[in-house]
Amino acid sequence: MQPETLVTTLGRDPEQHHGVVNPPVYHASTILFPTLAALEQSEKSDGVSSLVYARSGTPATRNFEQMIATLDGADHAIVTASGQSAIVVALLANLSAGDHLLITDNVYGSVRKLCAEELVRLGIEISYFDPVTQDIAACLRPNTKVVYVESPGSLTFEVQDIPLIAKVAHTHGAIVIADNTWATPLFMRAGEKGADITIHSCTKYISGHSDLVMGVITYPKQYHDVLRQTFRNLGVCPGADELYLAARGLRTMPTRLKQHQETGILLANWLKARPEVTKILHPAFASCPGHDIWKRDFTGATGLFSVVLKPYAKEKLANMLDNMQLFGMGFSWGGYESLMLPFKPPRSVTRWDKDAIYLRIHAGLEHPDDLIADLAAGFERLNSL
Ligand SMILES: *Cc1c(COP(=O)(O)O)cnc(C)c1O
């Protein structure tokens, strides 16, 4: 079945619930055992095949995990309290003291912090590879256990060659963990391109309404025991309402993504023609590093991209950003609303213009004409004073 049909049919069983279309929400902690034998049996359970305690999951958890695993073409999924905790589980399950972790330099900032402030302290070696040249062979060490990709990076949008990176990593005995939050399972299945473990922040397009924080890990069955163990020990389960809202958001994701894609490309084309803009960092545009890989491996583009502007004085930029009517300034993305965020690109191995202005744009579901009018007025303010 096609994704549109999958998201509307998966995870439902009205006959079990008095004909009600949606499955129930389970607000739970304790789960009661009817007999001593059942209690003793539960001690052998992994908390997945039978219900033990709500931190290990409720029927709603299993339901959502099954929906995402199916959409992502994976055997299993684990849903977590946030995208960040999905990343923590995936990394800690596969790394020990003395191991080396090789990460793309365009990685999500909170992952960079996790590495510098926590993983290094645990004796894990970290280094970064350039997502433009992607010469990971030159960066592998004898103790490299995990190569971590984020394709495209969610600030600077370099698209990475996951099939090639996976081939090199696997030959070396390392696994590949992919953050696929930008593309979602609809526009690229990282597991099918060679990644061993995929993570998604459900906070973004999966839930789609800027009203929750949640994450998910998808993986083939050989990683089940190790990932489940670390997940259980870290205790990073999502709340019942988050699960419900994320499942509800997922039902409309294909429809929303079509519009995010269309508006994103329209805005990027309009911006490209502006004299203030020097570069479009959007995977569907030839100016974006890895554009050819995007064409080969992805089936669409979502609504998040960046633009590079000529240098402008801080007051001029503030005059533009402080007075936008529709583009909100804030972290996160993937909701129904448009956003605009100035940022400084990472600087460990990639070279960037330190005077240029980098703006990340999330194309929301407002009418594109209104968004363009807001941008045009914003540029007018940038050029005034
Ligand atoms: C937001 C984000 C995360 C972290 O997800 P949270 O749900 O906010 O913890 C990870 N990776 C990418 C690319 C993100 O945009």
Determine the pLDDT at residue 57. 95
Ligand 1 lining (C-beta closer than 6 Å): 82-84, 108, 150, 154, 179, 181, 201, 203-204, 213, 215, 332
Q: Quote the tokens at residue 284.
A: 């569907």
- Tell me the two tokens of residue 93: 């399950």
Q: According to DSSP H, which parts of 77-219 are helical?
A: 83-94, 109-114, 162-172, 184-187, 190-193
How many residues are listed for the chain in this entry? Answer: 385
Same domain, 231 and 315: no
299: exposed, middle or buried (Cβ count in 10 Å: 0-12, 13-18, 19+): exposed
Q: What CATH number does residue 259 fall under?
A: 3.90.1150.10
Q: 262 and 244 in one domain?
A: no
Cβ contact 3:255 at 8 Å = no
Angle between helices 240-250 and 59-71 (to 10 degrees): 30
pLDDT values of the chain reduced to their tens digit, one per residue, 385 residues: 999 999 999 999 999 999 999 999 999 999 999 999 999 998 887 777 788 999 999 999 999 999 999 999 999 999 999 999 999 999 999 999 999 999 999 999 999 999 999 999 999 999 999 999 999 999 999 999 999 999 999 999 999 999 999 999 999 999 999 999 999 999 999 999 999 999 999 999 999 999 999 999 999 999 999 999 999 999 999 999 999 999 999 999 999 999 999 999 999 999 999 999 999 999 999 999 999 999 999 999 999 999 999 999 999 999 999 999 999 999 999 999 999 999 999 877 667 888 999 999 999 999 999 999 999 999 999 999 7
Among 309, 325, 310, which residue's Cα sits nearest to residue 364?
325
- In the reported structure, the alpha carbon of residue 303 is separated from the centroid of ligand 1 by a whole-number distance in angstroms of 15
242 and 116, same structural domain? yes
Out of 179, 223, 256, 360, which one is annotated catalytic? 179
Same domain, 114 and 153: yes
| Final residue belonging to a domain, choices 232, 251, 270 | 251
Same domain, 186 and 87: yes
Q: How far apart are CA 238 and CA 64, in angstroms?
A: 11
Residues 38 and 137 placed together within one structural domain of the fold = yes
Domain end position, chosen among 199, 229, 251 = 251
C-alpha distance from residue 252 to each of 4, 175, 217, 248, 376 (Å): 8, 33, 21, 8, 31
- By DSSP bridging, strand 144-150 and strand 100-104 are parallel
The amino acid at residue 55 is: R
Domain count of the fold of the chain: 2
Query: Based on the domain organization, do 62 and 128 belong to the same domain?
Result: yes
Pocket of ligand 1, candidates 156, 198, 204, 209: which has the most ligand atoms within 8 Å of its Cβ, to mutate?
204
Same domain, 103 and 240: yes
pLDDT of residue 349: 67
Which residue is it, tokens 């990932």? 227
Tell me, what's the pLDDT at 375?
Answer: 98
**pTM of the full predicted structure?**
0.97
User: Distance between CA 88 and CA 101 in Å, rounded?
Assistant: 13
> Which of 199, 150, 174, 165 has the alpha carbon at shortest distance from 304?
150
Do residues 218 and 263 both lie within one domain? no
CATH value at residue 33: 3.40.640.10
Q: Is 108 a catalytic residue?
A: yes
- Number of helices (H) and strands (E), helices first, in the chain? 14, 11
Both 225 and 264 in a single domain?
Answer: no
80 and 168 part of one domain: yes
Same-domain status, 246 and 345 = no
Which of the listed residues 201, 228, 251 is the one where a domain comes to its end?
A: 251
What is residue 122's DSSP assignment? Answer: G
For the CA of 182, the nearest atom of ligand 1: 13
The whole domain housing 284 covers: 253-382
Q: In testing the pocket of ligand 1, which one of 150, 154, 198, 211 has its CB within 8 Å of the most ligand atoms?
A: 154
